[in-house]
Amino acid sequence: MNFFEIINPNIEKLTKNEYEILDYVIKHMNEIHNQNIREVAAACFVSTTTFLRFVRKIGFSGYSEFTTVIKYTVLNDQEKPAATATFDMKQSDYREEYLKNIEETVRVLDDNKLNSLCELMMNRPKIFIFAKGFSKYAAEYVEYLYTLEGFLVVFPKNFEQRKLAYRNIGKDDLVFVMSYSGDDQELIRIIQVIKNQCDFASLVSVTGANNNSIQNLSDYNLYVFSDEIHDKKIEITSHVSMIVIMELLLYQFREYKGGQENV
């Protein structure tokens, strides 16, 4: 059984503190399956009793099942071969999986994170978007959408532009890094440069739900579910879920803004 399949029905029940524990767990799955409950609880700054209560709340009978499923999920992610083409499965099956991925992406969205981002967006920061490969096409739509909302959006399209753009990021700006794999070395270096500055912007990652470097370096993590698909060694993984996340954030901002203006 996959870790994310078990926790998904229980995400909405979590408190703000429990969301923070879940965020830590997702970021450190590679280490957690080899640690005992005292070590993990201490890393989350909670008691073992609190952590065990959290484990049961997200759908596990106990800590042993929790770590076993995490280990299985990590190994499965490492060993699972990419699909060779979109057309290998029946159209009806693909539709079902396609819709399921979008549904899971929406379900695990953390309202607390979205509201925190909306609060930052109320200050009308410059918005920087960094994306490469197939993610660039999703980012182009996001650039258009957020520009229509009145934000100054900077979306560098190539290596030279990205190298110049990150030098102009201010401490009050908002940086989105869109990468399904979460392990692109150029984007990781850009994030590291930004974080090494004395005053750095808020960093938001939009990546796959696997544990990856970009999400670990970010201040806010928004997780995407999608089946990784390659055709003739070219990635054609659906990026619709990335667009869904960015649209929902913008719609929540509009609602948040309206609520603040009516206060």
For the chain, the distance separating the N- and C-terminal CA atoms, rounded to the nearest angstrom, is 47
Query: What percentage of residues in the chain have a pLDDT greater than 90?
Result: 36
pLDDT higher at 236 or 203: 203
Confidence at residue 206, expressed as pLDDT on a 0 to 100 scale: 94
Query: What b-and-e string marks burial along 69-93, b requiring 16 or more CB atoms within 10 Å of the CB?
Result: bbbebbeebeeeeebeebeeeeeee
Dihedral angle sign, alpha carbons of residues 124, 197, 246, 113: negative
Going by pLDDT thresholds of 50, 70 and 90, the confidence category of residue 262 is low
Average of per-residue pLDDT across 64-81: 78
Vertex 139 angle, CA 123 and 29, to 5°: 85
Going by pLDDT thresholds of 50, 70 and 90, the confidence category of residue 249 is very high
Asked if residue 206 lies in contact with residue 1, where contact means CB atoms within 8 angstroms, the answer is no
Window from 108-112, 138-142, 218-222, 226-230 with minimum mean pLDDT: 226-230
pLDDT tens profile 15-31: 878 888 888 888 888 88
Compute the distance between CA of residue 33 and CA of residue 29 in angstroms, rounded to an integer.
7
What residues have CB less than 8 Å from 88, skipping those under 6 apart?
none
Average of per-residue pLDDT across 45-62: 92
Q: Where are the domains of the chain?
A: 3-80, 104-261
What CATH number labels 3-80?
Answer: 1.10.10.10
pLDDT tens profile 96-149: 878 888 888 888 888 888 999 999 999 999 999 999 888 898 999 999 999 999
Confidence at residue 77, expressed as pLDDT on a 0 to 100 scale: 65
Average of per-residue pLDDT across 165-191: 88
What CATH number labels 104-261?
Answer: 3.40.50.10490
Length of the chain: 263
Give the mean pLDDT of the chain: 84
Compute the distance between CA of residue 91 and CA of residue 18 in angstroms, rounded to an integer.
38
Query: What b-and-e string marks burial along 113-125, b requiring 16 or more CB atoms within 10 Å of the CB?
Result: bbeebbebbeeeb
Average of per-residue pLDDT across 155-182: 89
Average of per-residue pLDDT across 162-190: 88
85, pLDDT greater than 50: no
Confidence at residue 86, expressed as pLDDT on a 0 to 100 scale: 43
Confidence at residue 82, expressed as pLDDT on a 0 to 100 scale: 44
Confidence at residue 44, expressed as pLDDT on a 0 to 100 scale: 92
**Token code pair at residue 60:** 């596990």
How far CA 92 is from CA of 23, 89, 139, in Å, comes to 33, 8, 29
